[in-house]
Amino acid sequence: MKYLPTIALFALFAGLTSCNQDTSCTCEIAGETTTSTCEGCTGDELADFEAACTASDAVAQLVGGSCAID
């Protein structure tokens, strides 16, 4: 019984880290706003999506715009 709180905490942590995430990247260029969404992204997909948003931000800044992860 004394290990029950530890096991419950571990189960909660494991459950939270395996959740899918919906992430969006919003870009504003010349007064126009565009939003891209990665639904249910996990692991490498999420990392690739965030990298693409960062790359888009670098390009958008050349013309006075910006992109950011929401």
Report residue 19's pLDDT band, with 50, 70 and 90 as the boundaries.
Answer: low
Identify the pLDDT of residue 27. Answer: 96
Residue, of 2 and 13, whose pLDDT is higher: 2
The mean per-residue pLDDT over the stretch 20-43 comes to 91
How many alpha carbons lie under 13 Å from residue 4 in its C-beta half-sphere? 2
- Give pTM, 2 decimals: 0.68
Q: From 9, 70, 1, 11, select the one nearest 35 (Cα to Cα).
A: 70
Tell me how far apart the alpha carbons of residues 42 and 28 are, in angstroms, rounded to a whole number.
26
Identify the pLDDT of residue 5. Answer: 42
Identify the pLDDT of residue 20. Answer: 64
